[in-house]
Chain A
């Protein structure tokens, strides 16, 4: 009764029962008033009447106590009582509780962290109003290929199509901002004035672009991202009154975007995209076009009508542009590619397996706990508790555990996401805001509940079934065979799931290793890369840029520790975005080539051998005869297309883009040499045909520096910075990375989840080992008497060791068989993630099995060893 009373008070304090108490209070008052009125009517005086009423009522406080007691105990009260009881019994076994909560925290934490990624990338809609209507538009020159858009086409679409609320073109640019700490390079975009209408994003301060601001002659304006405003302008509230010098040109800040999605995009500022007269007539495909469809317009309708418009504009276009179609895709589909979706789902699947294993472990621990508590349960049953009550109580206890585990898991997830933030920012689309949103927390709660049920129900049933009275008599020796069978099955399941994870991790690791072994055709070791942009205003004529490259190359080569250096417009191994046309034999025989500009040091720095003719030399500069160097693939293609057997010394026509003006022109060039192909295609794809053009003859504003060092790589950075500062203090270095990092980022692709799944696999193996250890040592303890008798009857210690260890190994072996079946079932999923590795790679599977068997052995050894040390005298006496 006192518990109930205490609870009732607890409830009264919590506010749950104050209503009933208040009602009773007013009833009592009314009662006393009525009684007093009756007494007065009988002729008693006021004071006497009041006393009479009170006397007849009896003790008010006792009555209230009784009233509280009589109110039936609700299920909530039962639940809370069980919960308190549960917490109390958890406190009694702190070691057990800590282990369970830790195991749950790991399992739930990992799952919740992964779920927040799934939620952010796959479930949550894009963070723009009516984001489903945002589309990207390409030209589709050939089936399956898409191309950027030329300015005249974009303007024609924009003018003639009525299916779009807004259409915007953009181009990535960068600009140097002279900060107080020296020049910094900001990544930006030049966009049409309608850009922010496409995304329906308003500025937090000021405004975004208005129509007309992207027309020639309008004052230079700039919109800043929130992060830029904070980082470089100290969140200056009067930012709109400030002029910002980008590349030395003063720009008026007209707005700052709200924090959030546009901060995760790698864009720090937006400028209006103003077409030059040359660009307006150019057929260079350089623009990225986004549009917002009008409500009710389908993708197919928009595409059809755009194609009609496109066909109309093509009449004036050069011949090779005339076949054309349009491709339109929703933004969401673009941002989350199939490969990313698959990686995320596989990682989520893997972490779910870890959670299942954690769940199995907890169930096992609860089984063990249940066995030691059979006596307590038997007493309670004897005192009249029904089986339902006992199961409910045990379940509530596991619920208490899971709530603690869930809370710790959410903390764990927070930590994981915090640690993984840089990696996530790199691999997820910018629209994904990974955070512990309410939905994610709801998921965590659901998981905790599910785990409580899953892990708690069987042990609870197990503990309350069977003849409890028996356990009273037999004390802790009474463990049913059924009981240990269930626990063994759970451990076998754990081993099976672990094998699936370990095998998956090994396969992915092997795939990653294969990718690393991939012949890239370029030197990887001791090469450091960085990029820089020349401000267009200061380098308006090509010769100035050429001087800059020469000076940079000379100074950096002279720096101590530098072995060689080269310059290229694209990083090695990276796909070359610039596509041009080579006309080796008239317009009919067009060869599509990729166009890369390099300086004389490029091939030497990267150890790319010249196979025929020569490489690019210092003599290939402005004014000298125009030459190109081609790769092996292009040489083969020329032989195939026009029968050009020995291309060195031959002259071909090549389309190229003019410096600054961005207009295409046709060049007559001589093929000076052939080099061995460097890899620029994705793994598994054929190398493209590449033309290498001397940078000095065809300069570019954006270049990459490749510096090969003699020893420690980072040590040369100050020297490089210093060299550049001495030549032009307004030029900033960016994107500093080693060649190894460039390779890994370029090639890892589908094997990206390898590390993640590796980590999950380690966790899974750890949990499975704990489970095995637990069951092996438990069954050894249960069999102490047996073992004691065996020893007393002359069994040697080795026999006992083998007996107990054999049990653990049998469980492991059974688990491995089921695990292999699981691996077999998952072949299809794995195949899409692997590069040149079979999903049933025998080596990986063998290693996984051996590793798990070894772990099973290790987990079983300690209990076996302990069992072999049993003193038969002690056991038999204790048990007797």
Chain B
């Protein structure tokens, strides 16, 4: 999987860690329910306390892939600006996948953490 597009002009902000955008999107949809693309992007920014520099557009390629994997489903709805937009929600398979991704994430962070901990 390719790294998501990032804005190189803001080096001081954190990039989206490799492979984590999927996890962030799935988690967002799990906690917030049905959302449209902009809301997902805003939510990720807000949760990260604006410390994560996300090109908002980069969520769309991630969304289409998640949709084709069958982890999220889409519906058409009306946005706050009165425009037809796609709303995304988590599917059953998506919830399972989220568990797997979270477990993977925890495993790898735990592994890394053990290396970084000062040995006693």
Which A residues are closer than 8 A to B by beta carbons? 20, 23-24, 26-31, 33-35, 37-38, 56-60, 62-63, 66-67, 69-72
Contacts and interface: CB of A to CB of B under 8 A. Distances in A.
A31 B80 contact: no
Interface string B70-110: 00000000011101111000000000000000000000000
Contacts of B64: 20, 24, 67, 70-71
Lowest 8 A-B CB distances belong to which pairs? A58-B55, A63-B57, A66-B61, A34-B38, A30-B85, A58-B57, A70-B61, A30-B83
A62 B80 CA distance: 27
A59 B57 contact: yes
A63 B58 contact: yes
Contacts of B39: 34
B85 to A, nearest CB: 4
Interface in B45-77: 55-58, 60-62, 64-65, 68-69
A24 B83 contact: no
Given A30-B85, A31-B37, A33-B83, A59 B5 contact: yes
Given A30-B84, A31-B85, 5 more contacts: A27-B36, A63-B60, A66-B5, A66-B61, A69-B61
Nearest to A69: B61
A56 B13 CA distance: 13
B7 interface: yes
A28 B68 contact: no
Contacts of B5: 58-59, 62-63, 66
B30 to A, nearest CB: 21
* Chain A facing B: main interface SS: helix
A71 B37 contact: no
B80 A34 contact: yes
5 contacts: A31-B38, A33-B79, A38-B42, A58-B5, A72-B68
Contacts of B44: none
Nearest to B76: A23
Interface of B: 2, 5, 7, 36-39, 41-42, 55-58, 60-62, 64-65, 68-69, 79-81, 83-86
A72 B42 CA distance: 26
A353 B57 CA distance: 62
A57 B68 contact: no
B15 to A, nearest CB: 13
Contacts of B86: 23, 27
Contact of B79 (A30, A56, A57): A30
B88 to A, nearest CB: 10
A249 B37 CA distance: 89
B35 to A, nearest CB: 12
Nearest to A29: B83
Contacts of B37: 27, 30-31
A63 B21 CA distance: 15
A24 B60 contact: yes
A59 B55 contact: yes
Contact of A30 (B42, B57, B81): B81
A805 to B, nearest CB: 60
Contacts of B65: 70-72
B79 A34 contact: yes
Contacts of A28: 57, 60
A76 B95 CA distance: 29
Contact of A58 (B2, B58, B79, B81): B58
B74 to A, nearest CB: 9
B84 A31 contact: no
